[in-house]
C-alpha cells in the first residue's frame, strides 16, 4: 500500500507517515505490559501534534487494531473540544464491534490489554461505539469502512457497524492480511482507498466535498498538468488536433523542449477520461535503438512491484508478449494511456527505434483483448522522418507523428495575460509585450520569468533585464 502511494503521481507533494506502536499476538509471562487502547490513542494524538501540527488536513488509513486507535483518538478529541484536522478516515478490516478471534486470543495470552479491547464482549468497545454515534463523528470526519469478503479474523458484520450504510466497500477476495497488500496501482484494494481519498463525497456539506490536503489550488506555473490546473492552461488549435488523433490511435509528438508537449498529452488523456501512466526514460542508460523497447517493458513492469524482470536475452517477440502481459494486468474499466518521454536517443537512432515501436503497436492492436483499450503517446525533441531515410508508410499508419511548433505570439500573449493577475498584477502593458517579444514562442520562458517574481529571485531587475537573464539560463 505504501509503495502504491509513493509511486502515484496524484499524491505528489503529499506527506506520507506511519504511526507505529508496540504490539504482539501473545504476551508471555513476566514480559512488560503492552500499552492499552487509551494510551495508544493518546500516543497517536501526540504523534500528529508533534510531527504534523502545521498541516491543514490529515487523512488516516488504519488497519485492524489501528482503526480502533484512530477511532478512540477522534472521540477523545471531540470530547475535549479540540480542533480536529483529520478530514478522512479509512478503516480497513477494523473490528468495530469486536472480533471472535480476539476472544480466543484473550484466553491464551496473559493480561493482553490490546486483545481484550478487541473482544466482542468488551464493554470499552461498546462505549466507543456509543460515543462514536452520540458525538456524530461521521458528520465531522468522512469515514470509509473497507471489508474483506474472506476475512475470518474480522468478519464483515464486525467490520461494518451500521447495516445498510453506504460508506462501506467490500473487497470480496481479501482476507485480514491481504486487504492491506495491493499488488499495484490498479489493484482494487488500492483503487478503493485512493478513490475515497481524492473524490468528492455526497454525504458532507459542499464546502467539505474536496479534501484540503489533496485538492491543492490550481498552480498558475504548473510543471506537470493535472485537471486542477485547467484554469491556467492556454488551449490552442493544436490541442483539438491532438485530441482527434489520440481518439483514433497512437501518437508521437516531436518538438523542442519547453513548448508544452507533455502538458498537451496529459490534458488530452484527462479530457478523454482515460487512465494515465506517465513514463520518463531519462533514468535509463541506452544509446542504441534496441534499448528503447526493453526500457519501456521495464517501466510497464514497474507498475506492479511483484512483476518478474524481463530477461536481458529476450527476443523481440518475447519482449512483446512480456509487455502485453504487463498491460493486461494493469487494465481497468477505462482506456489506459502510456505517455513516454525523455527518450535518450539521437534523431537517427530514433527513426530506427520508431520502426520497432510500430511493430510492437501493430501486434498490440492485433490482440482482441487489448485493441482499443490502450493508447501509447511518445514525446521527443528530435524530429522523426525528416531525413533521407523517411519512415515507411506502414509505420506512419500505425503511429501518427505530429510536429509541435513554437507558440504563436498571440498564444504567448494569452498566457502572459493569464499569469499577470495571478502573479504580478501591477505589471504594465509594455512589460507584458516585452515578455512576449523575448519569449520566442516558448511558454517555458514565460513561466520562468513569472517564477522569478513569485519566488522573489528577480531582485531589482527590470523586466527587460530579467528576460535577458532567463534567456541566458535557458541557453546554458
Position of cell 516531436? Answer: 254
CB 192 within 8 A of CB 171: yes
- Among candidate residues 388, 389, 391, the one with its CA nearest the CA of residue 399: 391
Please list the residues that pair with 277 across neighbouring strands.
338
The candidate with the shortest Cα–Cα distance to 99, out of 45, 172, 173, 176, is: 176
The answer to whether the beta carbons of residues 146 and 168 sit under 8 Å apart is: yes
CA dihedral 160, 161, 166, 169 (to 10 degrees): -10
| Cα distance between residue 329 and residue 373, in whole Å | 12
If we measure between CA atoms, which residue out of 105, 108, 133 comes closest to residue 117? 105
**In b/e form, how buried is each residue of 98-113, taking b as 16+ CB within 10 angstroms?**
bbbbbbebbeebeebb
**Which grid cell is 466?**
530579467
Beta strands in 281-356 (DSSP E): 336-341
* Chain centroid, CA 421 distance in Å: 30
Q: Residues 6 or more apart from 238 whose CB is under 8 A from it? A: 264, 404, 405
Q: Which helix (H) or strand (E) holds 400?
A: strand 399-403
User: Cell numbers of 305, please?
Assistant: 512491484
Q: Which three cell numbers stand for residue 131?
A: 460515543
Of the candidates 352, 371, 135, which has an alpha carbon nearest to the alpha carbon of residue 250? Answer: 371
Residue written as grid cell 488536513: 57
Helices assigned H by DSSP within 170-235: 188-198
Provide DSSP, 384-423.
SS-SSSPPPHHHHHHEEEEE-PPPPHHHHHHHHHHHHHHH
Q: What is the pLDDT along the chain (476 residues), one digit of tens a residue?
A: 888 888 888 887 788 899 987 665 554 555 556 677 778 888 899 989 888 887 878 999 999 888 988 998 998 888 777 778 899 999 998 887 765 555 445 444 445 555 555 555 555 677 778 888 888 888 889 999 998 888 877 777 777 766 556 788 888 888 888 999 998 888 889 999 998 888 643 333 333 334 444 455 788 998 888 888 899 999 999 999 999 999 889 999 999 999 999 999 999 998 888 888 888 888 888 888 889 999 999 888 877 656 788 888 999 999 999 999 888 887 777 788 999 998 988 878 888 899 999 999 999 999 888 878 899 999 998 888 665 457 888 888 899 999 999 999 999 999 999 999 999 999 999 999 999 999 999 999 999 999 999 988 998 999 999 999 999 988 76
Amino acid at each position: 500500500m505504501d509503495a502504491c502511494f509513493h509511486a502515484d503521481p496524484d499524491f505528489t507533494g503529499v506527506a506520507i507517515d506511519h504511526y507505529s506502536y508496540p504490539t504482539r499476538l501473545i504476551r508471555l509471562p513476566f514480559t512488560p505490559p503492552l500499552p492499552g487502547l487509551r494510551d495508544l490513542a493518546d500516543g497517536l494524538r501526540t504523534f500528529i501534534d508533534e510531527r504534523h501540527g502545521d498541516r491543514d488536513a490529515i487523512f488516516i488509513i488504519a488497519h485492524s487494531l489501528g482503526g480502533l486507535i484512530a477511532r478512540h483518538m477522534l472521540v477523545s478529541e471531540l470530547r475535549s473540544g479540540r480542533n480536529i484536522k483529520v478530514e478522512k478516515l479509512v478503516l480497513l478490516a477494523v473490528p468495530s464491534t469486536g472480533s471472535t478471534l480476539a476472544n480466543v486470543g484473550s484466553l491464551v495470552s496473559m493480561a493482553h490489554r490490546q486483545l481484550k479491547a478487541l473482544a466482542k464482549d468488551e464493554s470499552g468497545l461498546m462505549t466507543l461505539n456509543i460515543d462514536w454515534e452520540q458525538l456524530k463523528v461521521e458528520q465531522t470526519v468522512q469515514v470509509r469502512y473497507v471489508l474483506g469478503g474472506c476475512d475470518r479474523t474480522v468478519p464483515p458484520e464486525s467490520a461494518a457497524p451500521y447495516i445498510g450504510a453506504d460508506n462501506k466497500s467490500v473487497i470480496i477476495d481479501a482476507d485480514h492480511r491481504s486487504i492491506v497488500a495491493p499488488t499495484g496501482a490498479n489493484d482494487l484494494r488500492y483503487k478503493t482507498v485512493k478513490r475515497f481519498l481524492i473524490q468528492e463525497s455526497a454525504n458532507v456539506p459542499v464546502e467539505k466535498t474536496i479534501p484540503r490536503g489533496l485538492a491543492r489550488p490550481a498552480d498558475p506555473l504548473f510543471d506537470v498538468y493535472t485537471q486542477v490546473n485547467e484554469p491556467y492552461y492556454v488551449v490552442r488549435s493544436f490541442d483539438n488536433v491532438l485530441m482527434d488523433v489520440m481518439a483514433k490511435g497512437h501518437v508521437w509528438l516531436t518538438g523542442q523542449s519547453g513548448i508544452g508537449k507533455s502538458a498537451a498529452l496529459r490534458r488530452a488523456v484527462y479530457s478523454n477520461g482515460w487512465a494515465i501512466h506517465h513514463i520518463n526514460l531519462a533514468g535509463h542508460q541506452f544509446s542504441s535503438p534496441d534499448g528503447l523497447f526493453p526500457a519501456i517493458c521495464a517501466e510497464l513492469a514497474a507498475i506492479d512491484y511483484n512483476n518478474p524482470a524481463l530477461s536481458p536475452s529476450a527476443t523481440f517477440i518475447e519482449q512483446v508478449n512480456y509487455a502485453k502481459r504487463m498491460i493486461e494486468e494493469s487494465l481497468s474499466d477505462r482506456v489506459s494511456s502510456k505517455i513516454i518521454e525523455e527518450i535518450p536517443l539521437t534523431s537517427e537512432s530514433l527513426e530506427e527505434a520508431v520502426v520497432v515501436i510500430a511493430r510492437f503497436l501493430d501486434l498490440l492492436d492485433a490482440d482482441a483483448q487489448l485493441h482499443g483499450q490502450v493508447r501509447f503517446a511518445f514525446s521527443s525533441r528530435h524530429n522523426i522522418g525528416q531525413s533521407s531515410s523517411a519512415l515507411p508508410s506502414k509505420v506512419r499508419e500505425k503511429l501518427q507523428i505530429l510536429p509541435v511548433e513554437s507558440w504563436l505570439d498571440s498564444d504567448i500573449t494569452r498566457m502572459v495575460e493569464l499569469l499577470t493577475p495571478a502573479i504580478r498584477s501591477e505589471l504594465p502593458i509594455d512589460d507584458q509585450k516585452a515578455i512576449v517579444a523575448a519569449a520566442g514562442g516558448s511558454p517555458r520562458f514565460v513561466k520562468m520569468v513569472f517564477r522569478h517574481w513569485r519566488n522573489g529571485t528577480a531582485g531589482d531587475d527590470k523586466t527587460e533585464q530579467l528576460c535577458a537573464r532567463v534567456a541566458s539560463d535557458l541557453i546554458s
